[in-house]
C-alpha cells in the first residue's frame, strides 16, 4: 500500500521548488531481491523560493546513508519524505549523496523498478521515481542524468538507460557494467532503465537534416520476428514529425523496449520508450488489423512525446493534458496522414469520435468528471483519463481549426521557440497559438476559449432552423448550455467552432451567403459560437435546406437538432462531409433504439428478447443502399452498419434499464441481419481478401466489412436454424491466412452461440497457447460473449481458475475481468447483482496487488446513479462495500468516494 494519507492536492497551491537538482549521478547494483541505488546529486537552493528545508519524496525504500558534501548529516523521515534541515548556507551548490535499497521482484504495482520475466524495467510517470530513490519527484525539477548500471552478465546481458552509451565493460564475479549519459535535461518521470535478456531489431537511418541515428526495438528472444511493423511505424513517425512540424530526432539512438507486464500502453522515457508488448508485437498470424493500427498510433504517440512532453514538459501534473492532449492530437493526425485517402481519413476521425463519445462523454457526465486541466486530485494516476487524453486532443484540434493548418504550425514553432527546455502550463500553449495567429478567432476569444481547459462537462449545442420561402432566407439559431459537474454548478459559454454546410432537399450542396455578404461563398464554413447564442441569416437560399452541422465533429459537444427522418436520410445519402453521413446513420439508429426502449407495447419473449419488429422499412432500405453502394469504401460501410454501442445508447437516457437497452440493440441487430441477408452474403463474397496480407487502411476496411457480414449471417442463421453460414464461418476460422479473418470468424461463431463455437475456441487455444497476446484475445472473447441465461459470469469465474489466468499480469486481468465488467453490459448488469458482487471482489483483490489497475476497474460502476432499480441500489451497495474497506489504496479510495459523493 501507499504510504502517506489521502489528501487532495490543489492546482492553485503550486509553488516553485525550494531547491533545484542540476545533476544526478545514479549507480545501480541490480538484483531482483535487493537492488542497491546510489544517488549523487548536485543541489542548490532556489533563490526565488522562501528558505525552507529540503523535502525529498520516497516510497518503499530502505535508507542506508545520507551524505552532504561527503560528510554525514542529520535528517528526519516524515510521512515518507526525507527531510534535511541542516544544509549549507547560501545559494552555492552542494553534493547530496543518498544510498538506498529496494526490492524489484516484490514490486507488483509495476511503478518504480520492477521485474517482468527476469528482466528489470522502470516506470516513473507519474510518481514512480520516488520508489527508486529519494528525490524532488515533480516535473518542474529538470536535471542532467548519468547512470551506471551493474548486473550479472549472464542474467542481464543487455543494460539500457536514457541517452548515449558512453562506456561498458566487464567486472569481477561474472558481472558487467554500462554507463549512459543523457545529453538533455529531463524531469525524473522520464528516467528509465532496462536490464535483462533481450534482443533487438536495428535500423540505421539518416534524418532529413542529414544526421545518422540508430533505431532499436528490444524484445524477448523469440519475438524478433514480430517487430517489423513497430520499426516501420517508428521510421514513419520520425519522417512525419520532420515533414509536418519540422521536428527532428535529437538523439543518436532511439530505443523501444517491450514488456508483457505494464500498467498502460507505453511510456515516452527519453530515448528509451518502454511499451506494453500489445503495442509492439505483431505478425499477420497473431495480430489483427486493429492491433496493427494501434501499434502504429502508439509508436507514433510515444515518439511524438519526444518534443511534446520531453523537450517541453509540464510544470505540474495538473498540466498533464499539455503533453497528452497535444500528443494524442499529433498521433491522430499522423494516423490520418498515413491512412491516405480522404475517405480513410474520415474513417479514422469517426473511430476517434466514437471513443470520445462512448468513453469520455460518460466520464464528463459522471462522478469523476474533471476539467482538461483539473483543479485538484488525490491520486494523479487516476487522472490519466479519456478527458485528459481524448478531450484534451479535441481542445487542441479546435485550436487547429480556429487558426488553420498553417497557423497551427506557426503556433507550434513559437511554442518551441519560447519554451524548449522548460516545464510549462496549458496557458503557455494556448498563448503561443494565439500570439502566432493574432488575427484568428482563437486570439480574439482566447479567454473564452480557455474555458475548455477549466470547465468540465460536455456542452450541448441546440440548433434551430427556420426557412422563409418569401425572402429565400434561412435563419439558423445556435444556443449552448453545459450541465453542472462536481464542484462546478454554473458554466460560462465556451468558444465553439461549428463547421457547417447546407444541403438542398435533393442533397446537392448550397453555396453559403450570410446576410451582408456580397456574394455566395464556399459550400462549407466554420462559424464560431462564443456566447450563449448566435443567429445566422443565410440569404439566397432557393428552398428549405437541410443543415449539416458540426462537420468533422468540429467541437466535442452534443448537438441537438430536430431532424426529420427524411432529413437524416438526405444527409446519409448525400452530405459531402463523410463524418456527418455516418453521424446521420447513428442518429437514425439512436432514435429507433430510444423509441423502442420506451415502448412498453413491444412484445418480449421468455428470455427478455424482443419479438416485435422495430426497424422501419426506410431505415432498412437506407442501410441496404449503403451496403451496396459502389462508391463508398468498405471501412466506411462497416462503420455505418454498426449500431451505436449499448454504452452510447444508455448515455442518451435519463434512467437506464441495462437489460432493456441490451435487448433492444440485439433485436435491431437481429432484424438487420435477417432483412439484409442476401446483401450480407453479397458483401461477404465481394470482400474476400486476395493476395498477400497487408495491414493498410483499404485492405483492413475490406476485412472489417467481410467480418461484419459474416457475423450478421451467423446471427441470421441462429434465428432461422440454417447451418450453412456457421459452417462457412468454421471453415474460415480454420483456413484463415491472418488473425483478422480468423478472429472475426471465431467471434461470429461465439456471438451467434452456435455449437461450433466450442470446438473453435478449443482449437484456437491449442494453436496459440504459447502466445500471451493471443491468449488474451481468447479470454476477452469469452468474457465478452452474449449472455444466455446468465452463463457468462460462471464462465468468467471458471476462466479465473484456468492455469493461464493471473490477476498479477495487467493484460490478462484486463482481458478477462475488464472485458466482463466494462465491455459486456448485458452480462454484467444482472438482476441478481452477482455481476456487481464479482466486481467488488476483484477490485479489492486487485487493489492489494496493483492499485493503479484496481482503480481503473473501480470505475466500471461510475454511472450507477443513472441505473433503474433494482440495479441502482445493488450497484451503490457494491461500491459502498468497497469503500468500507479500511486498507484501500488512495487510488481506489478516491474513485469510490467520488462515486458515492456525486450523485
Backbone angles phi, psi at 750, to 5 degrees: -65, -45
Pairing of strands 212-219, 253-259: parallel
Beta bridge partners of 122: 113
Helix (H) / strand (E) element for 872: namely: helix 871-883
Give least dist CB 228 to ligand TRP, A: 22
Backbone angles phi, psi at 334, to 5 degrees: -60, -50
- Calpha distance 853→811 (Å, rounded): 10
Q: Is 390 a binder of ligand TRP (CB under 6 A)? A: no
Q: Per this entry, what is the length of the chain?
A: 903
Nearest by Cα to 223 from 161, 275, 297, 153? 275
Q: Which is nearer to ligand TRP, 387 or 586 (CB)?
A: 387
Q: Is 324 a binder of ligand TRP (CB under 6 A)? A: yes
Give least dist CB 207 to ligand TRP, A: 23
The grid coordinates of residue 274 equal: 518502454
363 catalytically annotated = no
Q: Which is nearer to Zn ion, 377 or 820 (CB)?
A: 377
What does the DSSP 8-state code read for residue 358? Answer: I
- Calpha distance 583→575 (Å, rounded): 10
Q: Which is nearer to ligand TRP, 263 or 554 (CB)?
A: 263
CB burial of residue 362 (10 Å; 0-12, 13-18, 19+): buried
Give least dist CB 570 to ligand TRP, A: 41
Q: Is 716 a binder of ligand TRP (CB under 6 A)? A: no
Q: Which stretch binds ligand TRP (CB under 6 A): 69-77, 123-131, 330-338, 656-664?
A: 123-131
Q: Which stretch binds ligand TRP (CB under 6 A): 63-71, 262-270, 454-462, 489-497?
A: 262-270
Count of beta carbons in the 10 Å neighbourhood of residue 8 = 11
Q: Which is nearer to ligand TRP, 423 or 751 (CB)?
A: 423
Question: How many Å from the N-terminal Cα to the C-terminal Cα in the chain?
Answer: 29
Q: Which is nearer to ligand TRP, 114 or 768 (CB)?
A: 114
Residue 126: which of Zn ion, ligand TRP, none does it interact with, CB under 5 to 8 A by kind? ligand TRP
Count of beta carbons in the 10 Å neighbourhood of residue 674 = 18
Give least dist CB 284 to ligand TRP, A: 26
Q: Which is nearer to ligand TRP, 325 or 366 (CB)?
A: 325
Residues in region 324-383 near Zn ion by CB under 5 A: 324, 327
Calculate the CA dihedral of residues 839, 841, 844, 846 and round it to 10 degrees. Answer: -70
Give least dist CB 277 to ligand TRP, A: 13
Q: Are 178 and 165 in contact (CB under 8 A)?
A: yes
Q: Which is nearer to ligand TRP, 251 or 266 (CB)?
A: 266
Residues in region 522-541 near ligand TRP by CB under 6 A: none
Strand order in the sheet with 158-161: 112-116, 119-123, 193-196, 158-161
Q: Which stretch binds ligand TRP (CB under 6 A): 258-266, 288-296, 435-443, 803-811?
A: 258-266
The grid coordinates of residue 120 equal: 528489470
Beta bridge partners of 535: 477
Q: Are 284 and 738 in contact (CB under 8 A)?
A: yes
Per rule CB under 6 A, count of chain residues that contact ligand TRP: 12
Residue 241: which of ligand TRP, Zn ion, none does it interact with, CB under 5 to 8 A by kind? none
Give least dist CB 128 to ligand TRP, A: 7
Beta bridge partners of 44: 20
3-state secondary structure of 840: helix
Per rule CB under 5 A, count of chain residues that contact Zn ion: 2
Give least dist CB 398 to ligand TRP, A: 21
Residues in region 356-385 near ligand TRP by CB under 6 A: 384
Of positions 125, 776, 787, 891, contacts ligand TRP by CB under 6 A = 125
3-state secondary structure of 461: strand
Q: Which is nearer to ligand TRP, 397 or 702 (CB)?
A: 397
- Calpha distance 122→102 (Å, rounded): 12
Residue 384: which of ligand TRP, Zn ion, none does it interact with, CB under 5 to 8 A by kind? ligand TRP
Give least dist CB 330 to ligand TRP, A: 12
Q: Is 126 a binder of ligand TRP (CB under 6 A)? A: yes
Q: Are 267 and 299 in contact (CB under 8 A)?
A: no
Give least dist CB 110 to ligand TRP, A: 7
- Calpha distance 741→447 (Å, rounded): 50
Q: Is 787 a binder of ligand TRP (CB under 6 A)? A: no
Give least dist CB 264 to ligand TRP, A: 3
Beta bridge partners of 377: 9
Q: Is 263 a binder of ligand TRP (CB under 6 A)? A: yes
Q: Are 677 and 716 in contact (CB under 8 A)?
A: yes
Q: Which is nearer to ligand TRP, 324 or 583 (CB)?
A: 324
Q: Measuring CA to CA, how many Å separate 162 from each of 41, 237, 817, 822?
A: 17, 20, 35, 37
Residue 602: which of Zn ion, ligand TRP, none does it interact with, CB under 5 to 8 A by kind? none
Q: Which is nearer to ligand TRP, 302 or 583 (CB)?
A: 302
What mask, x for binding Zn ion by CB under 5 A, covers residues 300 to 329? ------------------------x--x--
**DSSP-assigned states of every residue in 211-258:** -EEEEEEEE-TT-GGG-HHHHHHHHHHHHHHHHHH-----SSEEEEEE
Residue 124: which of ligand TRP, Zn ion, none does it interact with, CB under 5 to 8 A by kind? none
Of positions 215, 264, 312, 365, contacts ligand TRP by CB under 6 A = 264
Which residue among the candidates 268, 284, 302, 894 is catalytic per the annotation? 302
Nearest by Cα to 321 from 460, 422, 424, 407? 424
CB burial of residue 57 (10 Å; 0-12, 13-18, 19+): buried
Q: Which stretch binds ligand TRP (CB under 6 A): 58-66, 264-272, 768-776, 790-798?
A: 264-272
Q: Is 297 a binder of ligand TRP (CB under 6 A)? A: no
Q: Which stretch binds ligand TRP (CB under 6 A): 196-204, 259-267, 338-346, 796-804?
A: 259-267
- Calpha distance 88→896 (Å, rounded): 46
- Cα angle: 53, vertex 58, 63; to 5 degrees: 95
Give least dist CB 236 to Zn ion, A: 18
- Calpha distance 309→311 (Å, rounded): 6
Q: Are 60 and 34 in contact (CB under 8 A)?
A: no
Of positions 81, 119, 123, 259, contacts ligand TRP by CB under 6 A = 123
Q: Measuring CA to CA, how many Å separate 515 from each of 477, 501, 538, 548?
A: 14, 15, 6, 19
Give least dist CB 827 to Zn ion, A: 32
Q: Which is nearer to ligand TRP, 125 or 296 (CB)?
A: 125
Pairing of strands 558-561, 460-468: parallel
- Calpha distance 455→372 (Å, rounded): 8
Q: Is 311 a binder of ligand TRP (CB under 6 A)? A: no
Q: Which is nearer to ligand TRP, 388 or 760 (CB)?
A: 388
Give least dist CB 163 to ligand TRP, A: 19
Q: Which is nearer to ligand TRP, 729 or 807 (CB)?
A: 807
Of positions 179, 253, 301, 370, contacts ligand TRP by CB under 6 A = 301
Residues in region 265-294 near ligand TRP by CB under 6 A: 266-268
Name the site residues for Zn ion (rule: CB under 5 A): 324, 327
Residues that bind ligand TRP (CB under 6 A): 123, 125-126, 263-264, 266-268, 301-302, 324, 384
List residues with catalytic annotation.
302
Amino acid at each position: 500500500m501507499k504510504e502517506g494519507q489521502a489528501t487532495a492536492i490543489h492546482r492553485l497551491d503550486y509553488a516553485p521548488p525550494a531547491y533545484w537538482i542540476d545533476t544526478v549521478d545514479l549507480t545501480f547494483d541490480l538484483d531482483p531481491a535487493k537492488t542497491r541505488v546510489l544517488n549523487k546529486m548536485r543541489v542548490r537552493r532556489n533563490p526565488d523560493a522562501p528558505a525552507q528545508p529540503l523535502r525529498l519524496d520516497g516510497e518503499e525504500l530502505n535508507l542506508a546513508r545520507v551524505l552532504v558534501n561527503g560528510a554525514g548529516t542529520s535528517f528526519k523521515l516524515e510521512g515518507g519524505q526525507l527531510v534535511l534541515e541542516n544544509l549549507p548556507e547560501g545559494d552555492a551548490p552542494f553534493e547530496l549523496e543518498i544510498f538506498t535499497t529496494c526490492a524489484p521482484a516484490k514490486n507488483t504495482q509495476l511503478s518504480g523498478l520492477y521485474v517482468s520475466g527476469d528482466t528489470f524495467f522502470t516506470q516513473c510517470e507519474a510518481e514512480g521515481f520516488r520508489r527508486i530513490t529519494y528525490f524532488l519527484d515533480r516535473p518542474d525539477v529538470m536535471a542532467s542524468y548519468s547512470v551506471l548500471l551493474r548486473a550479472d552478465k549472464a542474467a542481464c546481458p543487455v543494460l539500457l538507460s536514457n541517452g548515449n552509451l558512453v562506456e561498458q565493460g566487464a567486472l569481477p564475479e561474472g558481472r558487467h557494467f554500462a554507463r549512459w549519459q543523457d545529453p538533455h535535461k529531463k524531469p525524473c518521470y522520464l528516467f528509465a532503465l532496462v536490464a535483462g535478456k533481450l534482443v533487438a531489431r536495428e535500423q540505421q537511418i539518416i534524418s532529413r537534416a542529414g544526421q545518422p541515428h540508430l533505431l532499436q526495438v528490444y524484445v524477448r528472444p523469440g519475438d524478433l520476428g514480430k517487430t517489423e511493423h513497430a520499426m516501420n511505424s517508428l521510421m514513419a513517425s520520425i519522417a512525419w514529425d520532420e515533414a509536418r512540424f519540422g521536428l527532428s530526432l535529437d538523439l543518436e539512438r532511439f530505443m523501444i523496449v517491450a514488456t508483457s507486464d505494464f500498467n498502460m500502453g507505453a511510456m515516452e522515457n527519453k530515448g528509451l520508450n518502454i511499451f506494453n508488448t500489445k503495442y509492439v508485437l505483431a505478425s499477420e498470424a497473431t495480430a489483427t488489423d486493429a492491433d496493427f493500427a494501434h501499434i502504429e498510433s502508439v509508436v507514433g504517440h510515444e515518439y511524438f512525446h519526444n518534443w511534446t512532453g520531453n523537450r517541453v514538459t509540464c510544470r505540474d501534473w495538473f498540466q498533464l493534458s499539455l503533453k497528452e492532449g497535444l500528443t494524442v492530437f499529433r498521433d491522430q493526425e499522423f494516423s490520418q496522414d498515413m491512412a491516405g485517402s480522404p475517405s480513410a481519413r474520415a474513417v479514422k476521425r469517426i473511430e476517434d469520435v466514437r471513443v470520445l463519445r462512448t468513453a469520455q462523454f460518460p466520464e464528463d457526465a459522471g462522478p469523476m468528471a474533471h476539467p482538461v486541466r483539473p483543479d485538484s486530485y488525490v491520486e494523479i494516476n487516476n487522472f490519466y483519463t479519456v478527458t485528459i487524453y481524448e478531450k484534451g486532443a479535441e481542445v487542441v484540434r479546435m485550436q487547429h481549426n480556429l487558426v488553420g493548418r498553417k497557423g497551427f504550425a506557426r503556433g507550434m514553432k513559437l511554442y518551441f521557440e519560447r519554451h524548449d527546455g522548460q516545464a510549462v502550463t496549458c496557458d503557455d500553449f494556448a498563448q503561443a497559438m494565439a500570439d502566432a495567429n493574432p488575427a484568428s478567432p482563437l486570439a480574439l476569444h482566447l479567454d473564452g476559449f480557455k474555458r475548455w481547459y477549466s470547465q468540465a462537462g460536455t456542452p450541448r449545442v441546440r440548433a434551430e432552423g427556420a426557412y422563409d420561402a418569401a425572402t429565400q432566407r434561412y435563419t439558423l439559431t445556435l444556443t449552448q448550455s453545459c450541465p453542472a459537474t462536481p464542484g462546478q454548478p454554473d458554466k460560462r459559454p465556451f468558444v465553439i467552432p461549428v463547421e457547417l454546410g447546407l444541403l438542398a432537399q435533393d442533397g446537392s450542396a448550397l453555396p453559403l451567403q450570410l446576410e451582408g455578404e456580397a456574394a455566395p461563398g464556399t459550400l462549407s464554413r466554420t462559424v464560431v459560437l462564443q456566447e450563449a447564442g448566435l443567429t445566422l441569416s443565410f440569404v439566397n437560399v432557393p428552398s428549405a435546406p437541410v443543415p449539416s452541422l458540426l462537420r468533422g465533429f468540429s467541437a466535442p459537444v452534443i448537438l441537438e437538432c430536430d431532424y426529420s427522418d427524411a432529413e437524416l436520410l438526405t444527409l446519409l445519402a448525400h452530405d459531402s462531409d463523410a463524418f456527418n453521413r455516418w453521424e446521420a446513420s447513428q442518429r437514425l439508429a439512436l432514435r429507433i433504439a430510444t423509441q423502442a426502449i420506451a415502448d412498453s407495447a413491444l412484445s418480449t419473449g421468455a428470455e427478455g428478447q424482443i419479438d416485435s419488429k422495430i426497424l422501419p422499412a426506410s431505415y432498412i432500405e437506407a442501410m441496404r443502399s449503403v451496403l451496396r453502394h459502389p462508391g463508398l469504401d468498405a471501412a466506411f460501410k462497416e462503420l455505418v452498419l454498426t449500431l451505436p454501442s449499448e454504452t452510447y445508447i444508455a448515455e442518451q437516457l435519463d434512467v437506464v434499464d441495462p437489460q432493456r437497452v441490451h435487448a433492444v440493440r440485439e433485436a435491431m441487430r437481429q432484424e438487420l441481419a435477417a432483412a439484409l441477408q442476401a446483401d450480407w452474403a453479397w458483401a461477404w463474397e465481394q470482400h474476400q481478401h486476395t493476395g498477400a496480407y497487408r495491414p493498410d487502411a483499404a485492405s483492413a476496411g475490406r476485412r472489417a466489412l467481410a467480418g461484419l457480414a459474416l457475423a450478421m449471417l451467423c446471427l441470421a442463421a441462429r434465428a432461422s436454424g440454417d447451418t450453412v453460414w456457421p459452417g462457412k464461418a468454421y471453415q474460415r476460422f480454420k483456413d484463415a491466412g491472418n488473425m483478422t479473418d480468423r478472429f472475426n470468424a471465431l467471434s461470429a461463431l461465439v456471438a451467434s452461440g452456435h455449437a461450433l463455437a466450442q470446438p473453435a475456441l478449443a482449437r484456437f487455444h491449442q494453436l496459440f497457447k504459447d502466445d500471451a497476446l493471443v491468449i488474451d484475445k481468447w479470454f476477452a472473447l469469452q468474457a465478452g460473449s452474449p449472455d444466455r441465461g446468465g452463463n457468462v459470469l460462471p464462465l468468467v469465474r471458471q476462466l479465473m481458475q484456468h492455469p493461464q489466468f493471473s490477476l498479477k499480469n495487467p493484460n490478462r486481468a484486463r482481458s478477462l475481468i475488464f472485458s466482463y465488467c466494462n465491455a459486456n453490459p448485458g452480462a454484467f448488469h444482472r438482476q441478481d447483482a452477482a455481476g456487481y458482487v464479482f466486481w467488488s471482489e476483484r477490485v479489492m483483490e486487485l487493489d492489494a496487488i496493483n492499485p493503479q489497475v484496481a482503480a481503473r476497474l473501480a470505475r466500471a460502476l461510475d454511472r450507477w446513479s443513472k441505473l433503474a432499480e433494482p440495479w441502482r441500489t445493488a450497484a451503490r451497495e457494491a461500491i459502498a462495500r468497497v469503500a468500507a474497506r479500511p486498507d484501500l489504496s488512495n487510488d481506489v479510495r478516491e474513485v469510490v468516494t467520488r462515486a458515492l459523493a456525486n450523485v
